[in-house]
Structure 1
Amino acid sequence: MNIFVCVKQVPDTETKIVPSGDGSFIETSSIKWIMNPYDEFAVEQALLVQAANAGSTVTVVRVGSVKDTEALRTAMAMGADDAFLVEAADNLDSYMIAKALKGAIEKSGKTPDLILSGKQAIDDDCLQVPQILATMLNLPSVSVVVGYEGSATDITVKREVEGGALEVYGVKLPAMIACNKGINTPRYASLPGIMKAKKKPLTTLSLADVGVSDADKRVKYSNFQLPPEKPPGKKFDATDAAKQAQVVKDVVGLLRTEAKVI
């Protein structure tokens, strides 16, 4: 099987985010980048499928800046065989990213039997790229998947829906599967795996190489701003028994008129 995994590199959750000077994106020069957490489940699932199907290969594909390849090297340290990086700005819209991923998969020279990704990226939360990519490749697609089993030709997947229920789908491969937390437990990259990853093939492509141009842009980002700071909390002294009734009245009034929770 030719298994592809689409990953995204996102800011570490502890990174302090600052808008760029022109407000068109965020300042990226001092950000620590990590693999999108949901994509870790996709990489792990690809490795599990590979282990169950002898002779399979796992190729990781990413679209973004070349200054840091942490996500791709992490995936290869976990066990992926090779990787493709489409060098581009980190603020592409979902359509451009999906088209670039499609072009990279085609450039690999391998026909995909299975494409995996995380259900969403934790930075923009668009939840669109897997579905757009599946449409471009004319493949069946199932998202928010928490259960996976099957063979090299047919799989059964479970996806979460509102209310805690599960939907079960029988899918013929090739297909696009977007993974959610719970589908597996991602492995840690071992030290030998990290050393081997440095020698595994990492091919860099440009947007032009994969047939993407500025004309493909569907969304333009502008006016990035930090959310307003929260106002300081209000304190009430209820130690004086004679004032407790008034304090309770004041607190209830604020909860009703300002906080609007009662």
Structure 2
Amino acid sequence: MTFIVTTSHKPDAKIAARAKDLAAKLGVPYVSRRRLKDYLKLKPVDFYYVLDRNGQLSISYDNQRFFFHPSMAKLRLKNFRDGQRDHLIESLELKGNELILDTTFGLGSEAILMAHFLTQGKVIGLEASPHIYRVVKHGLEHYPFQYQWMYDAVSKIILINADLKKFIRKVADGVYDIVYCDPMFEVPQYSSSSLNPLRPFAVYNPINEEDVLEMLRIAKKRVVLKTRNTDSLFDSFKTIKFDRISGGKSSGVLYGVIEKK
């Protein structure tokens, strides 16, 4: 995929300098916004990074825009505080001091939610796609969060650009208290407007039984897997047995918990 770096319209000198630095770091051209239209006529690209006047980083392509935002974390915590169940939080059974490995970080909304319930713990997130990693890491560091709890939550998150299959096989036994995995659904949910712009950059690498056994090896307490009730992930396991499975009927999302014996 070919890409360049630019800015939003009428950037100040500081934003332009930061965009130039990013382009140099990535080894791709920096194109000023006023020259962008003419540049793309001569040298079409698959997408381009945009650093806007507020210091936020996004990706633009085909009239789509992929950017970081914490909206689902905000909504889920609000619902939880209003008395609604959150099956992920229930499945994790957090004490507050856990070291959690989130093997499929994505936009990070679930990691932010998990981190909120940690008083002394940390969430280590893995994101295989370099482009998703870059946009989301920038967002975690620079997004103007509306609430203090979000700033506190992201301070407990460390994001790493790594493929989960390779990463977990290099980890020693029992390093993490909990390992969480939310692989891409077999049937994409195109009604999810927040995820649709991300899809062209996502790494589609289904997990298998061997991967889950590796997750169990490096976990002290439990492994939590997420899927949809229409997917075959849970049924594909021959030797792995879930201690419990919970989920919402309306969402069709299931969380399967495997306790470390």
TM-score range, shorter chain: under 0.3
TM-score normalized with structure 1 length: 0.24
TM-score normalized with structure 2 length: 0.24
Give the number of the structure whose residues are more often helix, by fraction: 2
For CA contacts below 8 A with separation 6 or more, give which structure has more relative contact order. 1
